[in-house]
Amino acid sequence: MAVPDVAALVSGIRDGQRAAISRAITLVESRRPDHRAAARELLAELAPLAGGAVRVGISGVPGVGKSTFVEALGMHLVKNDHRVGVLAVDPSSVRTGGSVLGDKTRMASLAVQPDAYIRPSPSAGTLGGVARATSQAMTVLEAAGFDVVLVETVGVGQSEVTVSGMVDTFLFLTIARTGDQLQGIKKGILEISDVLAVNKADGERVLEAETTSKDLAGALRLVYAGTNSWVPPVLTCSALENTGIDTVWSRIIRHREFMGSQGLKEKRAQQQLDFTWALVRDELDQRLQTDPRVKAVRAEVRAAILDGTMPAATAADEILAAYDSRD
């Protein structure tokens, strides 16, 4: 891609032109140095126009129904005069460098709405890189006037923590589970969730879903007992049959009201601070991996550790000394 004309992009984005939005997102995803420079310029122009969206993260294990839910919620919002941007963070694309989810096919109705824009996740890079691209894509969408941004992320370890640091409200989707299986939901996930919903509450699974929802609500009451913080509500819904979706949205809004505008401002400011350090760590890690001097000592240090002649602490010192000796 040639380096785009930033001024033209900015005016296209302000007009909500899809082609300009797509090109801008491709630009912020790019790692080419000349693209990165243009992206910085673009983001500086867009920053004053951004920040106006309700930012929602949607997570859950593969197959729980995230994309189907995003489609249902997106359609609900579009019908209520919202403009909805959808982004996806897929850490498996980080591992494989491959392309993503058939997300657009799961969101067939939403994808053709003039008031919706769906962007699959960037196809390669580190989790930090994908997070950077996602956060900057969010800026582009907000500048283009989307007032709701939904970020879908597959729940596998770090990615939901990363996404929860980029959104105002984090929604965790699960499906009906028995008591034992409920233990399997990581405590960390409960701690970062603002709203929970048991999806696939349809057909023969309605009762099971309601039981699961009550069990989860009980567990959460214990986690939050004695605090005056927001206690995440647990709901049931069916993304497929389109039931309970409006209630989930109303709780997202209630969570927002609970934070208040000052609380939201502080949350976003803290997120920026955390994100800054995450990006620095990510970049340092990249530099460490690719540094020629580190590469030069790597094989030797590895062999010494594996045959037991060098302790880990000494090895770490050698690697850091090699890194620090760069020009």
Do 198 and 92 touch, CB atoms closer than 8 A? no
Cβ proximity to ligand GTP, 213 vs 238, nearer residue: 238
CB of 204 to ligand GTP, least distance (A): 10
Q: Which residues of 79-111 are buried (b: 16+ CB within 10 A; e: fewer)?
A: eeebbbbbbbbbbebbeeeeebbebbebbeebb
Q: Give dist(CA 113, CA 261) in Å, integer.
A: 30
Please state whether 17 falls in left (phi above 0), alpha (psi between -120 and 50) or beta.
Answer: beta
CA 138 to each of CA 100, 145, 242, 258, 267: distance values in angstroms, whole numbers, following the listed order: 18, 11, 26, 23, 16
Whichever of 27 and 175 has its CB closer to ligand GTP, that residue is 175
Q: Which stretch in 35-43, 44-52, 62-70, 291-299 sits in contact with ligand GTP by CB under 6 A?
A: 62-70
Tokens found for residue 131: 């997070």
Minimum distance from residue 76 beta carbon to ligand GTP (Å): 14
In angstroms, the CA 200 to CA 198 distance is 7
Nearest partner of 163 among 90, 110, 254, judged by Cα: 90
Question: Helix, strand, or coil here: 234?
Answer: strand
201-to-56, 65, 235, 275 alpha-carbon distances in Å: 22, 11, 10, 36
| 154 part of the interface to ligand GTP, by CB under 6 A | yes
CB atoms within 10 A of CB 258: 14
Regarding 231 and contact with ligand GTP (CB under 6 A), the answer is no
* Rounded distance between C-alpha atoms, residue 258 and residue 228, angstroms: 11
Place of tokens 């003039």: 114
**Position closest to ligand GTP via CB:** 65
For Mg ion, give the closer residue by CB, 67 or 169. 67
Least separation in angstroms between CB 152 and ligand GTP: 7
From the CB of 72, what's the least distance to ligand GTP, in Å? 8
Q: How far is the CB of 47 from ligand GTP (least distance, A)?
A: 31
Here the tokens at position 34 are 């000349």
The residue range among 65-73, 108-116, 225-233, 246-254 that interacts with ligand GTP, by the rule CB under 6 A, is 65-73
Binding residues with ligand GTP: total (CB under 6 A): 17
Minimum distance, C-beta of residue 84 to ligand GTP, in the bound complex (Å): 16
**Site membership for ligand GTP, residue 66 (CB under 6 A):** yes
Nearer to ligand GTP, 64 or 143 (CB): 64
**Segment 290 to 309, residues that bind ligand GTP, using CB under 6 A:** none
In whole angstroms, the minimum distance from the beta carbon of 301 to ligand GTP comes to 39
Q: Which positions from 77 through 106 interact with Mg ion, judged by CB under 5 A? A: 101
Q: State the binding partner of 218 from Mg ion, ligand GTP, none, CB within 5 to 8 A by kind.
A: none
Task: Supply φ then ψ for residue 102, to 5 degrees.
Answer: -75, 50
Q: Which stretch binds ligand GTP (CB under 6 A): 64-72, 125-133, 158-166, 277-285?
A: 64-72
- Report 17-76 residues binding Mg ion (CB under 5 A): 66-67
The contact set with ligand GTP (CB under 6 A) reads: 60, 62-68, 101, 106, 154, 199-200, 202, 238-240
The contact set with Mg ion (CB under 5 A) reads: 66-67, 101
